[in-house]
């Protein structure tokens, strides 16, 4: 069967076509592999496309349909390249893991593999998930399919761009300070960061362990819930994972009657672009049209969340990244003089500038004499941010805010100023600090680029959030697809931070 439009097809519809026998998994997989062949040279969403595996496995699912029947069987997916996959090179977009062949598979990925999804490949990211534009990858800069001269956001920019460009039906990403929601917003798709602990972090290459969560990037809210259903749950291999108090339900709400939505004044005073603000206000009006009420609330410590995050995340990263030392796996420098030289040069040559910057901040903040002033203080600010949310949720069911202050920005425009780049996550970071579930849905365009509407809920309120997002999605009716236009004015086109220098090995079993 042909005629499927990868820019518009949802997993829900693909699943129905599969179940009804109108399309085979091999045919469906080919739709995406063909789209990858057609647009990947412009988008560069994947670090590795596992073409042969995908073709073979989808055929196997078709052949053994009886044994492999399951809610996700035969549906193709893309996976962010910071989740380890046995037998498939996993680079974390870093030179230091250019040749890493994992000997096990991340729990969240294993869960969908056991449901017989077909993996299309591993998607690009900011190295070690540190960034907001996917420009920090050691391998390639991913372009936003809505305008190839702009960034897709980050760090899950490869996953978001792949879904938006029709190069994947849906994808897995990870979110430490907004890394699912911000790229989803910039690419005009749905992205959800679950409550901390809802999804196992086993096999997710650790960035900041107290903040990291894996979650779905999809074309619809229903798809988002469907994928979330299959990755949640307690995993004995991640002691911070927990079972949800209730299973994830597939949303169907059309109305928001009785729903109280809080709008934090502080999120609207951080330099929200006019076009973003306009779409946000229109969406609030829809909340009311659908029977909900919007009330202004205050989260007074919002302005301290970003400084606290930029201590806590780098501090945890500096400890987590100590394991990359050129001894057990990955890159090793040539001809080390002694063990210290091996460590220092391997890490100096293997890590990119942003990763080094964060290791430096983290090491500094944890070093003797500075711990109380930085890390200790940041942990206390984190408590204040949590208390703000607790107080707010005494009066409202959900909180609404723009996902990010601006639409997709030009590639290269923020790379010279780390702080300007960090500001991209000002609206998403507080939910990570408080461990709360949050998601972004597309709510319209500004200057032809997508705008995201963010919902934040109390811990484990995923179902409430998904129902509300579903009702809003139906009312908004966002159905526009990206055009792959390129508005670059010259120098920004194909901009590349350090030149595409290292290719990961294409080996896969």
Q: Which residues bind other proteins (CB under 8 A)?
A: 99-101, 103-104, 196-197, 210, 236, 239-240, 242, 301, 303-304, 306-308, 310-311, 318, 322, 325-332, 336-345, 347-349, 351, 356-357, 359-361, 363-364, 367, 373-374, 376-384, 386, 418-419, 422, 434-435, 459
Single out the catalytic residue among 15, 30, 80, 122: 80
Single out the catalytic residue among 25, 94, 179, 461: 179
Number of H helices, E strands in the chain: 15, 11
> Tokens for 213?
């969560």
Instruction: Find the shortest distance in angstroms from Cβ 351 to other proteins.
Output: 7
Query: Whose structure tokens read 């911000």?
Result: 182
Closer CB to other proteins, 103 or 394, in the complex: 103
Instruction: Find the shortest distance in angstroms from Cβ 269 to other proteins.
Output: 15
Query: Cα separation of 63 and 73, whole Å?
Result: 12
Closer CB to other proteins, 8 or 380, in the complex: 380
Instruction: Find the shortest distance in angstroms from Cβ 20 to other proteins.
Output: 42
- Asked if residues 209 and 321 have their Cβ atoms less than 8 Å apart, the reply is no
Query: Cα separation of 490 and 188, whole Å?
Result: 25
Query: Whose structure tokens read 């964060």?
Result: 358
Single out the catalytic residue among 155, 185, 318, 440: 155
Closer CB to other proteins, 76 or 203, in the complex: 203
Query: Cα separation of 179 and 216, whole Å?
Result: 11
Contacts of 74 (CB under 8 A, 6+ apart): 18, 24, 25, 28, 29, 58, 61, 62, 65, 68, 116, 117, 118
SS3 category, 454? strand
State yes or no: is 241 an active-site residue: no
Instruction: Find the shortest distance in angstroms from Cβ 451 to other proteins.
Output: 26
The secondary element (H helix, E strand) that includes residue 215 is strand 213-218
Closer CB to other proteins, 223 or 388, in the complex: 388
The secondary element (H helix, E strand) that includes residue 240 is none
State yes or no: is 298 an active-site residue: no
> Tokens for 306?
């970003």
State yes or no: is 137 an active-site residue: no
Closer CB to other proteins, 31 or 436, in the complex: 436
Instruction: Find the shortest distance in angstroms from Cβ 452 to other proteins.
Output: 24
Query: Cα separation of 440 and 371, whole Å?
Result: 35
> How does strand 118-123 pair with strand 190-193?
unpaired
Query: Half-sphere exposure of 174 toward its Cβ, with a 13 Å CA cutoff?
Result: 38
Q: Write out the catalytic residue numbers.
A: 80, 155, 179
């Amino acid at each position: 069967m042909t005629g499927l439009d990868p820019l518009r097809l949802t997993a829900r519809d693909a699943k129905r076509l599969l179940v009804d026998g109108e399309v085979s998994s091999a045919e469906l997989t080919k739709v995406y592999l063909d789209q990858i062949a057609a647009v990947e040279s412009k988008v560069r969403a994947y670090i590795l496309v596992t073409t042969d595996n995908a073709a073979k496995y989808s055929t196997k699912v078709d052949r053994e349909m009886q044994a492999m029947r399951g809610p996700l069987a035969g549906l193709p997916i893309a996976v962010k390249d910071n989740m380890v996959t046995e037998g498939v090179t996993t680079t974390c977009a870093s030179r230091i893991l250019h040749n890493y062949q994992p000997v096990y598979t991340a729990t969240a990925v294993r869960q969908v593999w056991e449901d017989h999804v077909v993996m299309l490949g591993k998607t690009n990211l900011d190295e070690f998930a540190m960034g907001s534009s996917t420009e920090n990858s050691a391998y390639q800069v991913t372009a936003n399919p809505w305008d190839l001269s702009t960034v897709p956001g980050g760090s899950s920019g490869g996953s978001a761009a792949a879904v938006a460009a029709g190069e994947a039906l849906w994808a897995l990403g990870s979110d430490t300070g907004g890394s699912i929601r911000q790229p989803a917003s910039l690419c005009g798709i749905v992205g959800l960061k679950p409550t901390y602990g809802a999804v196992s972090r086993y096999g997710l290459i650790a960035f900041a362990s107290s903040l990291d969560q894996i979650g779905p990037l999809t074309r619809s809210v229903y798809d988002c819930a469907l994928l979330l259903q299959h990755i949640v749950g307690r995993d004995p291999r991640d002691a911070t994972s927990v079972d949800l108090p209730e299973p994830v339900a597939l949303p169907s709400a059309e109305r928001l009657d009785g729903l109280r939505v809080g709008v934090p004044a502080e999120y609207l005073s951080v330099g929200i672009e006019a076009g973003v603000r306009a779409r946000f206000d229109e969406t609030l009006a829809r909340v009311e049209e659908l029977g909900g009420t919007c009330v202004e609330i205050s989260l007074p410590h919002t302005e301290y969340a970003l400084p606290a995050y930029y201590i806590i995340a780098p501090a945890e990263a500096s400890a987590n990244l100590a394991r990359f030392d050129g001894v057990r796996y990955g890159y090793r420098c040539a001809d080390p003089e002694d063990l210290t030289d091996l460590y220092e040069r391997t890490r100096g040559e293997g890590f990119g500038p942003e990763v080094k910057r964060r290791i430096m901040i983290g090491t500094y903040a944890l070093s003797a004499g500075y711990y109380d002033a930085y890390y200790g203080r940041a942990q206390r600010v984190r408590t204040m941010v949590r208390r703000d949310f607790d107080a707010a949720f005494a009066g409202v069911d959900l909180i609404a805010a723009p996902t990010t202050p601006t639409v997709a920005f030009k590639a290269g425009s923020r790379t010279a100023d780390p702080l300007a780049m960090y500001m991209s996550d000002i609206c998403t970071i507080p939910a990570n600090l408080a461990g709360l579930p949050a998601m972004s849905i597309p709510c319209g365009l500004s200057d032809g680029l997508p705008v995201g509407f963010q919902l934040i809920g109390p811990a484990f309120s995923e179902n409430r959030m998904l129902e509300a997002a579903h009702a809003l999605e139906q009312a908004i009716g966002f159905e526009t697809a990206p055009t792959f236009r390129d508005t670059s004015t010259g120098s920004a086109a194909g901009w590349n931070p350090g030149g595409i220098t290292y290719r990961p090995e294409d080996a896969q079993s």
